[in-house]
Structure 1
Amino acid sequence: MNYKKAGAVLIPTIIAVGIIVYMLWRVFDDLLTALKTAVPSFLLIAVLICVFAWFLRGFRYQYILKKLVISVSILTSTACIYVSQTANLIIPARLGDLVRLFILKHIAGATYSQGLSSVVVERFFDIVTIALLGAIVLPFALDMPEWFSTVISIALLLCFAFLVFIGLFGNFRSENKYIQILLNLISEIKQASLSISALLVLGVTSVIIWIMDCLICLVIALMFNTNIPFFVIVIAIVIGNLVKAVPITPGGVGTYELAVALTLEVSGTPAAIATLIAVIDHLVKNLVTLIGGVISLYVFGDWAVSLMKRAFSRGINKEDIV
């Protein structure tokens, strides 16, 4: 047994479970009362929004791949994201994203550099959109801790610095083999993201995707007959996802729920309701991801299932692609 690899998965999982258990334990006496007020039919609405948002993510990813001269269908691009995000629910440090490189290599003949570039562009637009939404609605949210604006400002500054870096070094060349590999990666990122059309398409779709993500949380709040202002929901989702971006636990499980629940509590939502909203919101999103990932694996075929098994057991090697 590889104890180092086992520990890398087990320790973050224990942290995630510990956070969730603590959150539920501290409001345990009020949980049953809160659950009695729930209207389960809202769950179906939340799931439908989540599924639609996934296909919108697939459309956005298909566009990114098209800019890199990689042609796939929207079903394939959506399935590709499903599989990598499913891997992220288990593999720590968001390393599940790397599964996507091998899938693209197998189904479209993409280089590993193109695959990595596509993931970086997608992640960049997610983070910058989340931070911008937070910056827009934060002035309307009263009594929010000052560190919220600090976190959002740092995220925006990092995104701006990344854009400047890509813009400056996107066309450089080097005689050094390894430096040139990095420069090729930067050039591909620039190719996929820094044209006017790309900024417009990726920017608009990213805003819609994250507004829908916030709507899922709002619907879960309505499930408990709780009227929370939409801008408060947006702030909670923004903080939850910025915290989740730090890969402490697989899929951000535990850290996301804690950040969302505490943000809702600061706004005046009862602790038990805030905890249930945060936990169920993330549970719905993760279950849709998991189900979509399993379906996608079997649509791709046995090679993809084998690849995922190897990724979980001993990491992915180049020879896994046949």
Structure 2
Amino acid sequence: MSRAVEVSVVLPAYNEQATLAETVTITLDTLAEFLPEGAYEVIVAEDGCEDRTPEIADELAAEHEAVRHIHSDDRLGRGGALEYAFREAEGETLVYFDTDLATDMAHLEELVESVRTEGYDVATGSRWMPGNEADRPAKRGIPSLGYNKLVRLFLRSDLQDHQCGFKAFDRDALVTLLADVEDEHWFWDTELLVRAQRAGFRVREFPVNWTPRGDSKVDIVRDVFGMGSQILRTWWQLSVSPRITRKVSLGAGTLLVVVALALMTLYLDPSSVLDAIAGADPAIVVLSALVYLLSWPLRGVRYRNILSRLDHASDGWFLTGAIFISQTGNLVFPARAGDAVRAYVVKARRGIPYPTGFASLAIERVFDLLAITVLAGSVLIGLVATGGTDDLAAAIAADIGTVTIGGSAVDPAAAARTALQVAAGVGAAAILAVAVIVVNARREGNLVRRGVGALSSDSYADYVAGVIEQFVGDIQTVVGDRNSFLGVGGGSLLIWTLDVATALVVFAAFGVDVTLSLVAVAFFAVSVGNLAKVLPLSPGGIGLYEGAFTLIVVGLTAAPELTATTALAISIVDHAVKNVVTIVGGVVSMAWLNVSLTTAVERTSDVEAEADPQD
């Protein structure tokens, strides 16, 4: 019998054996009150159930011509099951509500007709609008109220209730919206409503009478936390990401640097900074450049080991030159354009495919992060073990002075020592975490997704698990071969050690005694400075590195000779030495390898397009 279905009602069902039959019967009876026979269908979207729900759904479909059962072997999540069922539905008006029938079914006609005949693209019931009756227990009502306020604040929604399981959609509107909706679980409703408003669709919200039935399947801790993270993800995608372009990043970065320099002149005399720089021992400054230069062949060897694990052999000196050129590109051009330059150079001169070039860069960055973590943890543990925390705690206390809390004096030095000991514990945990990641990367089975899934089951958790798996996967590429792993891991540690050693030599050039506590401070200053440079806000991170370096040095030392002026002068010289070595090496390498930096940067868009696996 052919039917002209106008309305498709989807009932998301997960372990609903106790209520499903009654729900379907009530739904069919209610639809029959205002729609002609054959104009509607009821779809049971059964989502990987563990009880008798699938059998009951089959029985209902066999008994009623208007009932269909759509089964999923795997758990798709609430949003995933709805989306799958909607794509299989026949009607032009698509409806869903929760199978517990918490919303009074007397509102069903109003919900359906809002879309079917009144021209709205989306209609949703609301438990928070005036004019409704809703029995909201505190354990549900308070989190719901707070959640909806956050959605209105961050996502600029005009609706009062985003999670009421009582909604209807125009098919064309829903298909358009689903192309951008990423969540597959409890946040699915919210994301649909927010994106519908942003896209200019007509959305109607009306009050409904609502009575809770049984226990909510929302995990107050796990799912609410997951939905909170989804609010941030959607806010970033809709409000922040579209505004971040290369032009905006460069402009903002330049403005930031200018403002920072302008403010700095209020507290520091530029001439005194220049005088401090002029007073540095030039011979020791040259020595710092030589120390930094030693790290570059190590970079080439490390990159060679990474490429060898990707089945592409090359020589270390060529790769050192390629890295020189790419880092020079990062200094000269904004938004880290040098990364694509390296992929271009190794492709043009050694035939290494672009995807391999970018994959090798990702692996290199992962090991840089691991090296920073291990060195930071080791420095903290070493400070505590050797008593070096005393000097550092005294330096911090000297800047803080006496602290009084609740009428009692607090010893800032003791508090600082305790904080450093706790930090050392965190450092030890970080080193252990690195060890676990490396060991896990050597296993065939990855435990990451299982561990993240224990905390949250929404799509954002799935995204986080994917990022971590990619991180572990990059390590896994290298750890399969012991020699390669030792080469890449050990090389990363040596490279970062030499980076810090360069800064320590610069400290010596300014007449500062190099003590154990200064070694720790220098490591943090250099590490934080380099992390600041990751943000593509200025070419080469100029200004960002100096600012971060100076703040760390001034904040963690109290040596009389290490004033803010001297610390800034040291940061400028340290960064300048490293940039000069990079540029000189880049110019020499470009001449040696016959590479035009301008041409390489112009090819950046082609490089990135060819590296895209979808192309």
TM-score category, normalised to shorter length: 0.7 to 0.9
Instruction: Check 1:86–1:207 CA distance in 2 against 1; reply closer, same or farther (3 A cut).
Output: same
- CA shift, 1:79, in A, is 1.0
Say which of 335, 341, 352 aligns to 1:99.
Answer: 341
Report if the CA contact (8 A) 2:321-2:585 is conserved: yes
- Find the aligned partners of 2:430 and 2:341 in 1 and give their Cα distance: 26
Instruction: Check 1:244–1:36 CA distance in 2 against 1; reply closer, same or farther (3 A cut).
Output: closer
- Letter matched to residue 532 of structure 2: V
Report if the CA contact (8 A) 1:137-1:235 is conserved: no
Report if the CA contact (8 A) 2:526-2:549 is conserved: yes
- CA shift, 1:184, in A, is 11
- Find the aligned partners of 2:540 and 2:435 in 1 and give their Cα distance: 26
Shifted more, 105-114 versus 30-39: the winner is 30-39
- Letter matched to residue 55 of structure 1: P
Deviations 1:242-267 (A, max 9, x none): 33334333322222111111111121
Instruction: Check 1:96–1:35 CA distance in 2 against 1; reply closer, same or farther (3 A cut).
Output: closer
- CA shift, 1:100, in A, is 1.5
The answer to whether 1:197 aligns with 2:486 is no
- Find the aligned partners of 1:119 and 1:67 in 2 and give their Cα distance: 13
Report if the CA contact (8 A) 1:61-1:122 is conserved: yes
Per the alignment, residue 19 of structure 1 pairs with: 260
Per the alignment, residue 157 of structure 2 pairs with: none
Structure number with the bigger relative contact order (C-alpha 8 A, sep ≥ 6) is 1
Say which of 361, 374, 377 aligns to 1:132.
Answer: 374
- CA shift, 1:316, in A, is 5.1
The answer to whether 1:284 aligns with 2:570 is no
Per the alignment, residue 297 of structure 2 pairs with: 55
Per the alignment, residue 258 of structure 1 pairs with: 547
Report if the CA contact (8 A) 1:9-1:90 is conserved: no
Q: Secondary structure at the match of 1:125?
A: helix
Per the alignment, residue 174 of structure 1 pairs with: none
Matches within 5 A, 1:44-193: 44-138=286-380, 140=383, 141=389, 142-143=392-393, 190-193=476-479
- CA shift, 1:115, in A, is 0.9
Structure with greater helix share of residues:
1
Report if the CA contact (8 A) 2:380-2:427 is conserved: no
- Find the aligned partners of 2:263 and 2:352 in 1 and give their Cα distance: 44
- Find the aligned partners of 1:254 and 1:161 in 2 and give their Cα distance: 36
Say which of 213, 228, 242 aligns to 2:531.
Answer: 242
- Letter matched to residue 206 of structure 1: S
- Letter matched to residue 108 of structure 1: R
- Letter matched to residue 254 of structure 2: T
Shifted more, 135-144 versus 118-127: the winner is 135-144
User: Which one has a bigger Cα radius of gyration?
Assistant: 2
- Find the aligned partners of 2:532 and 2:595 in 1 and give their Cα distance: 35
- CA shift, 1:218, in A, is 0.8
- TM normalised by structure 2 equals 0.44
- Letter matched to residue 110 of structure 1: I
Instruction: Check 1:293–1:162 CA distance in 2 against 1; reply closer, same or farther (3 A cut).
Output: farther
Say which of 587, 596, 605 aligns to 1:294.
Answer: 587
Q: Secondary structure at the match of 1:71?
A: coil
Shifted more, 265-274 versus 147-156: the winner is 147-156
Deviations 1:69-90 (A, max 9, x none): 2222222100111111111123
Q: Secondary structure at the match of 2:332?
A: coil
Percent of pairs with identical residues? 30
- CA shift, 1:196, in A, is 2.6
Instruction: Check 1:188–1:129 CA distance in 2 against 1; reply closer, same or farther (3 A cut).
Output: closer
- Letter matched to residue 13 of structure 1: T
Instruction: Check 1:294–1:303 CA distance in 2 against 1; reply closer, same or farther (3 A cut).
Output: closer
Report if the CA contact (8 A) 2:442-2:479 is conserved: no
Instruction: Check 1:38–1:198 CA distance in 2 against 1; reply closer, same or farther (3 A cut).
Output: same
Instruction: Give 5+ residue unaligned stretches, structure 2.
Output: 1-244, 384-388, 397-415, 447-468, 611-615
Report if the CA contact (8 A) 1:93-1:250 is conserved: yes
- Find the aligned partners of 1:126 and 1:18 in 2 and give their Cα distance: 31
- TM normalised by structure 1 equals 0.78
State the Cα RMSD in Å: 3.6
- Find the aligned partners of 1:155 and 1:88 in 2 and give their Cα distance: 30
- Letter matched to residue 318 of structure 2: T
Instruction: Check 1:270–1:58 CA distance in 2 against 1; reply closer, same or farther (3 A cut).
Output: same
Instruction: Give 5+ residue unaligned stretches, structure 1.
Output: 172-182
Per the alignment, residue 43 of structure 1 pairs with: 285
Q: Secondary structure at the match of 2:280?
A: coil
Corresponding pairs, count: 305
Report if the CA contact (8 A) 1:170-1:186 is conserved: no
Per the alignment, residue 178 of structure 1 pairs with: none
Structure with greater strand share of residues:
2
